[in-house]
Structure 1
Amino acid sequence: MNSQDIKNAISGALVVDKPVGMTSHDVVQAIRNGTGLRRAGHTGTLDPRASGVLVILVGPAVRLSEYVSASDKRYQAIIRLGGSTDTFDAEGKVTPTKDPVNVTESQFEEALKTFIGEIEQTPPPYSAVKVQGRKAYEMARQGEEVDLAPRKITVHHLEVLEWTPPEVVIDVHCSSGTYVRSLANDLGVMLGCGAYLVGLRRTKSGRFSLRDSVPLRKLQEAFTAGNWYQYLIPAAEALGDWPAVELNPDEVEGVRHGHRVKVVGEPTETKVRGVSTQGELVALMELATAEDGTHEWQPKKVFFTSD
């Protein structure tokens, strides 16, 4: 196998602990440069001021992005009480509150409870959300009024980790698409004292946590040493929370051409990943019903294995 064949066979995820100060695209570019692979992409932007888990898919695994991006996220957020900003974080112009902050920890926790569950959240004006084809932050920077529609998100869990007013550290477990900056701002409005985000660390993205991550600096050292493959999580494991169906060689060949596979036993899932006997990801498949009423797995996204 020549070097080009080896590159074509590389498919998986690199879980990076992103440092503060870099954009998500900066990290993707660093990985493209380090691996020599052109196909690479992140699965959910992390603001430059935020650190933590950033999942980068490389090779054919980039086609898993829509499934990995849809996963829940978890953050540790530092919120400052006693003011508000136009960006909802410390980047913006701070408008201090006129009154002293008299919020108790129990009042703060009661306010937190109102944000748990499925809620409507308005994205910050300085965000990458597009309004009639233009990014909101570009409009906001030009002084234009940005009217963003609220969107439904789900907040699974909120908990105070440190209470050291005017700063509070909270644990946030939420659906993809949640803006923690908006959560901080909305909390400040509800409490009447103003609040904004001063620090954010993503501790989990989907099934990947900080335990699975490698600091970018360490990864770059591995690029230089040529042993970065040790950090690559195979494509079949990138969706490790999906049930796996093992396909024999004949089924692999059939699935490659879009053919269905008979379901063995009574199905308990509607989506599975088909893997070869070597453990390679062959396809993402969905439950379908055949003409005779039996169940089959219909290939939805097929990945060519490297054999």
Structure 2
Amino acid sequence: MSTKTLADFDFETGEVLLLDKPLTWTSFDVVRKVKSALRIGKIGHAGTLDPLATGLLILCTGKKTKEIDLIQAQEKEYTGTFRLGETTPSFDLETAVDLVRPYAHLTDEEVTAATPQFTGLIQQTPPIFSAVKIDGKRAYELARTGQEAEIKPKTVDIKIFELTRIALPEVDFRVVCSKGTYIRSLARDFGTALGCGAHLTRLVRTRIGEYRVEDAFSLEAIEALRPPRPEGDRPARPERPRTAPNRAGLQYFAALQADALAAKEHQAHEAGETPAAAPENPPE
């Protein structure tokens, strides 16, 4: 955590604020929440994180919004997990598994040997479930309505792609890469190279340039700094609950979470215990 406290920031004049994005929140969800909580007039984020990714999201306020392009152009670092032997249309947990292939024949040496081909300047095709624009529409809008669209490959620079744990079918990794690199696409391409398919099951952005997730604030810390509403101002509208996975189009992830909760409840019932309450969805 940064030694600088939130009370030290002058958001209206301009600040660069590091946030640790929660799971299932879109980057826009976070911007809107911080804007509302701190009553900031001008705010934006420097680099989108997918709903199923967590970690460093950089917000710029006031005059610092002019630095957004410079910040998001910097080198990125990620850690996460691929699951071998299964593919999904979105290359992550947003959509259900559509193909299962054997992976048990692979050795650790064979898995590791597939990594060098994905370093340096490579051609990468973004996922159809992405914000890439096709004829004026976001690719994910077409994908979620079942429409097919062609996305052209682009050149990205992956400086480091290393495996930090191999426990098949799971493989943990660390990636250092350029702006515009899709780790979900790397999961797909890595699985294709191994002949068994793969998809991304966990992703954390740990760094953008010199900015690190260790120095980021949580949304709870932001909420704690919410200023009191001025006397006579209109009352705050009551917060209404929403299901974040559904809002983000994460039906498969929501189903996985429901299955996991049901399994815990069953185990607790068999053991005569009371299961812990499910975590609440992030507020509107």
TM-score class, shorter = 0.7 to 0.9
Identity of aligned residues (%): 37
The aligned counterpart of 1:59 is 62
User: Which structure has more RCO (C-alpha within 8 Å, separation ≥ 6)?
Assistant: 2
Farther off after superposition, 160-169 or 114-123: 160-169
Partners of 2:35 and 2:153 in 1: CA distance: 35
The aligned counterpart of 2:75 is 72
The aligned counterpart of 2:149 is 146
Q: Compute the displacement of 1:224 (Å).
A: 5.0
Q: Compute the displacement of 1:7 (Å).
A: 6.8
Letter matched to residue 29 of structure 1: R
1:1-307 to 2 correspondences below 5 Å: 10-223=13-226
1:133-164 deviation per Cα after TM superposition (whole angstroms, max 9, x unaligned): 11111111222211000011000101111111
Structure 2: gaps of 5 or more residues:
1-8, 230-284
Contact 1:101–1:193 (8 Å) recurs in 2: no
Q: Compute the displacement of 1:176 (Å).
A: 1.0
1:63-110 deviation per Cα after TM superposition (whole angstroms, max 9, x unaligned): 111111101111112100011110001111203434343222221111
Contact 2:12–2:40 (8 Å) recurs in 1: no
1:258-283 deviation per Cα after TM superposition (whole angstroms, max 9, x unaligned): xxxxxxxxxxxxxxxxxxxxxxxxxx
With over 3 angstroms needed to count, the CA separation of the structure-2 counterparts of 1:225 and 1:118, relative to structure 1, is: farther
Contact 1:7–1:37 (8 Å) recurs in 2: no
Aligned residues: 221
Q: Secondary structure at the match of 2:223?
A: helix
Contact 1:77–1:180 (8 Å) recurs in 2: no
Q: Compute the displacement of 1:212 (Å).
A: 1.6
Letter matched to residue 213 of structure 2: L
With over 3 angstroms needed to count, the CA separation of the structure-2 counterparts of 1:8 and 1:164, relative to structure 1, is: closer
Contact 2:190–2:197 (8 Å) recurs in 1: yes
Farther off after superposition, 141-150 or 48-57: 141-150
Partners of 1:18 and 1:215 in 2: CA distance: 7
1:178-214 deviation per Cα after TM superposition (whole angstroms, max 9, x unaligned): 1000000001111000100001011011211112211
Farther off after superposition, 105-114 or 214-223: 214-223
Q: Compute the displacement of 1:222 (Å).
A: 2.7
Q: Secondary structure at the match of 1:223?
A: coil
Partners of 2:39 and 2:102 in 1: CA distance: 56
Partners of 1:99 and 1:41 in 2: CA distance: 44
TM-score (ref. length: structure 2) = 0.74
Contact 2:38–2:225 (8 Å) recurs in 1: no
Contact 2:124–2:155 (8 Å) recurs in 1: yes
Partners of 1:135 and 1:223 in 2: CA distance: 34
1:119-141 deviation per Cα after TM superposition (whole angstroms, max 9, x unaligned): 01000011110011111111112
Q: Secondary structure at the match of 1:211?
A: helix
Letter matched to residue 153 of structure 1: V
Structure 1: gaps of 5 or more residues:
1-5, 227-307
Partners of 1:141 and 1:22 in 2: CA distance: 18
Choose between structure 1 and 2: higher strand proportion.
Answer: 1
Query: Which runs of at least 4 in structure 1 moved beyond 4 Å after TM superposition?
Result: 6-9
Q: Say which one has the larger Rg.
A: 1
TM-score (ref. length: structure 1) = 0.69
Partners of 1:14 and 1:86 in 2: CA distance: 34
The aligned counterpart of 2:268 is none
Partners of 2:102 and 2:33 in 1: CA distance: 46
